[in-house]
């Protein structure tokens, strides 16, 4: 077996990162916990309002619903808007015990945008359908006779 040479010494003035510093190292302020006592975990933050998440999911799922003649976007967008506004009101009234204000805002905004685009697309589809019926009954699309 070949022996490998030891690694080179660190450059002068080098201090190892705190994670590699030995316990009680120079000016680290680290004191190991007494034997038998576990480390403490930080306290959990405020819980996220579930309605905010529901609103965001409805708003995001409403976007592909635009492809279904806009109907699915309207069906999912309106409840997403209402639920998002309810969640936003709950989060603001909670005094910091609930989080999710940004999620609720994103949910109702996505819902409004998707429902609006869906409604415009539905009006376009209905208008095109009505126009084609009117044009075909008036003889505008008559085929030429030889």
Has residue 57 been placed in a domain? yes
Query: Per-residue pLDDT tens for 55-106?
Result: 999 999 999 999 988 999 999 999 999 999 999 999 999 998 999 999 999 9
Has residue 2 been placed in a domain? no
Structure tokens at 11: 């450059």
8 A C-beta contact, residue 98 and residue 47: yes
Across all residues in the chain, what is the average pLDDT? 84
Domain count, the chain: 1
Has residue 119 been placed in a domain? yes
Pairing between strand 47-48 and 98-99?
Answer: parallel
pLDDT at 16 over 80: no
CA separation for the pair 2, 22 (Å, rounded): 31
Has residue 18 been placed in a domain? no
Query: Per-residue pLDDT tens for 108-140?
Result: 999 999 999 999 999 999 999 999 898 888 776
Strands (E), 52-103: 98-99
């Amino acid at each position: 077996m070949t022996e490998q040479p030891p690694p080179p010494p660190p450059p002068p003035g080098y201090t190892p990162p705190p994670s590699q510093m030995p316990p009680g190292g120079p000016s680290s302020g680290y004191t190991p916990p007494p034997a038998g006592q576990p480390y403490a975990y930080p306290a959990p933050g405020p819980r996220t309002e579930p309605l905010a998440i529901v609103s965001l999911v409805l708003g995001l799922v409403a976007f592909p619903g635009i492809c279904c003649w806009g109907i699915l976007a309207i069906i999912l967008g309106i409840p997403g808007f209402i639920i998002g506004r309810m969640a936003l009101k709950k989060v603001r009234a909670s005094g910091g015990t609930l989080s999710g204000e940004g999620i609720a805002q994103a949910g109702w905004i996505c819902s409004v945008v998707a429902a609006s685009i869906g409604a415009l697309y539905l009006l376009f589809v209905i208008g095109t359908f009505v126009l084609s019926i009117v044009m075909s009954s008036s003889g505008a699309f008559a085929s030429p006779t030889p």
